Amino acid sequence: MFILDGITRRYQVAEAETLALDQVSLRLVPGEFVAVMGPSGCGKSTLLNILGMLDGPDEGNYLFNGDDVARYSETRLTKIRRDHIGFIFQNFNLIDDLSVAERPEASFRINLCSHRSGQIADGSSAFFLQMERIGLKSLRSFAG
């Protein structure tokens, strides 16, 4: 669960201060899908950067599964981002040389690598088993 309580984020550029987020409070539960919408400059990217643990607030509290994110080491933040946080970007940010099936498989292999002492393993079989488990059995037809 993600809980933001009174989150404020300011940016200082030269002599001008911009208040990007002002006392934002939000609670997101597991399995919930959220769309962040609004006009340019309203703080959407700032909010996502804080939720994604890429940036921190100037004020307020951010709890992830009941723990204060401000106390996490950079290593812990990296593991949480890898294992628990995903973004779907407006622009696809895809690797052009990979097929529809190879794109998520690349992420899966990187995750396997981090759990197997830095060696990239052939995770194709395990990857397709996981895709079948979540209802994407047809993804195999897009491979190669």
What CA–CA distance (Å, rounded) separates 55 from 105?
28
User: Does the pTM of the predicted model rise above 0.75?
Assistant: no
Q: Which domains does the chain have, with CATH numbers?
A: 2-84 (3.40.50.300), 102-142 (no CATH)
Angstrom distances, CA of residue 24 to CA of 19, 44, 76, 123, 133: 12, 11, 24, 41, 37
Spatial distance between the Cα atoms of 67 and 2, rounded to a whole number of angstroms: 10
Per-residue pLDDT of the chain (144 residues; tens, 9 = 90+): 899 999 999 999 888 999 999 999 999 998 888 888 899 889 999 999 999 999 999 999 999 999 999 999 999 998 898 888 877 666 666 667 777 667 666 666 666 655 554 444 555 566 666 667 766 666 555 554
Closest-CA residue to 9 (of 47, 37, 53)? 47
